[in-house]
């Protein structure tokens, strides 16, 4: 019935995982980029399957009451902020609903319902931001050339590696624009070439910028297709003039790959790291460090984790997928001992160093896969944690890891997730085998995008 190039009108009723609007006509669902909930639109079908299709937005016939004017001129081209045209209150409502729906549909949980006297699941209102722009403490800008051969930097267009020239991102800190101006001006003055992905030639690939929201310290790291930057002293002299400049680094990446950073890091000037705080805990952040990009919301997230862990000072805690120890060190303030496990060895080195600079002696960090290290800890030492915290990648926890959690039988499990679908799957696994879900808290860590962070508290049923 529906065919490619056919035009139709529809009401947008939902949002997809990539921020596209979803409308339905005669039993078929259509995904429409740049449409928001409540829009009545005219679209053109670009691709049609049996029961769903993809359509291009032709005209907003009647705009949604929740539609707003995006502050970024490159919003539609870039695709990094999928929800920028949606009122922020509606963004929060969408994210809250997304987490709830995944828990109910995938996990089979009944939110805020009491059945046969069972423990009620508390689903708390999402924690939003007072200022949902300019919140990112890290930005990675690709460098290339346009059709006229002029050096450009900005962001990749959605689902492509074409650079949208834009030095003023509404999510990054405002100093980023000045730094990019200096870098590009330097490259033009000394005829420093930009990297070309197709040929693998050219020198400067990316500009990485890190900013300490508490300390105001700045790191600039140029990712090079080589190990030497000509006339680097001139660049250093200009960047040093910026207030807060602390570290100027080079990262060597000579591989023909989409991976941004290489393994070798060289110091041009200043320290090899910047520092920042989450709460009272101080962290050293290098170019390769994993560190949450939204420090304002990270503090709220970690405070929720600490609240759910309900520590009295006598507990043994395991923190799986611990990164540079951000959550581990937060927990160590109130636990007897914390064991952090992380597969990335440089992150473990950072975690140990962060423990040292904070004078925290009750945190031990182990390198390796959580699904391998945790079973060894349990089988070889008989370690039984009172509380286990997991903060896995998007794919969720490995089943072996979940099995070991069940064997260790902690009283409480605190699950931090950036993907509520895999979260629901893993919670179902644990709750089918002796645990019950008590509380859920969503946190808007990535405003203007479709991503949402969640924290869940599980209790052992017989505890």
pLDDT, one tens digit per residue, over 327-362 is 999 999 999 999 999 998 888 999 999 999 999 999
What pLDDT score was predicted for residue 114? 47
Per-residue pLDDT of 181-213, as tens digits, reads 999 999 999 999 999 988 999 999 999 999 999
Residue 230 CA to residue 393 CA, distance in Å, equals: 38
* pTM for the predicted model, two decimal places: 0.91
Check 81, 397, 401, 418 and give the catalytic one.
Answer: 418
What pLDDT score was predicted for residue 119? 58
Residue 274 CA to residue 438 CA, distance in Å, equals: 38
Burial of residue 275, with CB atoms counted within 10 A of its CB: 0-12 exposed, 13-18 middle, 19 or more buried:
middle
User: Is residue 118 scored above 60 in pLDDT?
Assistant: no
Q: Tell me which fold the domain 96-130+294-460 belongs to.
A: Rossmann fold (3.40.50)
Segment 135-157 shows an average pLDDT of 92
User: Is residue 304 scored above 50 in pLDDT?
Assistant: yes
**Same topology between domain 96-130+294-460 and domain 138-285:** no
Q: Could you tell me the residue ranges of all domains in the chain? A: 7-66, 96-130+294-460, 138-285
112 pLDDT tier (thresholds 50, 70, 90): low
Per-residue pLDDT of 14-39, as tens digits, reads 998 888 999 999 989 999 999 999 99
User: Is residue 115 scored above 70 in pLDDT?
Assistant: no
Count CB-CB contacts under 10 A for residue 227.
Answer: 11
Does the structural domain 138-285 have CATH classification 2.40.50.1070? Answer: yes
User: Pairing between strand 40-48 and 7-15?
Assistant: antiparallel
User: Is residue 231 scored above 90 in pLDDT?
Assistant: yes
- The pLDDT > 90 percentage for the chain reads 80
Does the structural domain 7-66 have CATH classification 2.40.50.140? Answer: yes
Residue 463 CA to residue 164 CA, distance in Å, equals: 55
6-10, 154-158, 178-182, 267-271: least confident range: 154-158
Q: Catalytic: 221?
A: no
């Amino acid at each position: 019935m529906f065919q490619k190039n056919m035009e139709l009108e529809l009401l947008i009723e939902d949002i997809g995982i990539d921020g596209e609007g979803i409308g339905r006509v005669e039993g078929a669902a259509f995904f429409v980029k740049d449409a928001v909930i409540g829009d009545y639109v005219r679209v053109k079908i670009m691709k049609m399957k049996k029961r769903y299709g993809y359509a291009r937005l032709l005209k907003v016939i009647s705009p949604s009451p929740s539609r707003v004017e995006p502050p970024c001129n490159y919003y539609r081209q870039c695709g990094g902020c999928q929800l920028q045209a949606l009122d922020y209150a509606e963004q929060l409502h969408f994210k809250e609903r997304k987490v709830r729906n995944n828990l109910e549909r995938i996990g089979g949980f009944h939110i805020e319902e009491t059945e046969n006297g069972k423990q009620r699941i508390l689903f708390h209102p999402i924690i939003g931001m007072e200022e949902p722009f300019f919140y990112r403490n890290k930005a990675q800008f690709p460098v290339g050339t346009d059709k006229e051969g002029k050096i450009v930097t900005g962001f990749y267009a959605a689902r492509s590696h074409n650079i949208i020239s834009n030095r003023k991102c509404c999510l990054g800190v405002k100093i980023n624009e000045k730094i990019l101006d200096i870098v590009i001006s330097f490259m033009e003055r000394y005829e420093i070439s930009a990297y070309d992905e197709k040929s693998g030639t050219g020198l400067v690939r990316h500009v990485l910028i890190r900013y300490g929201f508490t300390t105001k310290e700045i790191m600039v790291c140029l990712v090079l297709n080589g190990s030497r930057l000509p006339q680097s002293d001139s660049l250093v002299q200009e960047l040093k003039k910026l207030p807060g400049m602390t570290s100027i680094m080079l990262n060597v990446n000579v591989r023909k790959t989409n991976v941004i950073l290489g393994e070798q890091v060289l110091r041009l000037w200043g320290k090899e790291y910047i520092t920042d705080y989450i709460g009272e805990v101080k962290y050293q952040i290098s170019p390769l460090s994993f560190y949450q990009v939204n420090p304002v919301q990270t503090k709220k997230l970690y405070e929720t984790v600490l609240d759910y862990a309900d520590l009295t000072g006598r507990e043994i805690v395991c923190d799986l997928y611990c990164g540079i120890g951000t959550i581990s060190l937060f927990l160590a303030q109130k636990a007897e001992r914390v064991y952090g496990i992380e597969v990335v060895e440089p992150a473990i080195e950072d975690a140990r160093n962060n423990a040292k600079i904070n004078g925290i002696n009750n945190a031990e960090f182990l390198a390796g896969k959580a699904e391998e290290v945790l079973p060894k800890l349990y089988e070889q030492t008989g370690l039984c944690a009172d509380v286990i915290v997991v903060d896995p990648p998007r794919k969720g926890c490995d089943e072996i890891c979940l099995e070991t959690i069940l064997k260790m039988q902690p009283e409480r499990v605190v699950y931090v997730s950036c993907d509520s679908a895999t979260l629901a799957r893993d919670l179902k696994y644990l709750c089918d085998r002796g645990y019950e879900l008590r509380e859920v808290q969503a946190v808007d860590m990535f405003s203007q995008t479709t991503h949402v962070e969640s924290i869940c508290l599980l209790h052992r049923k017989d505890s």
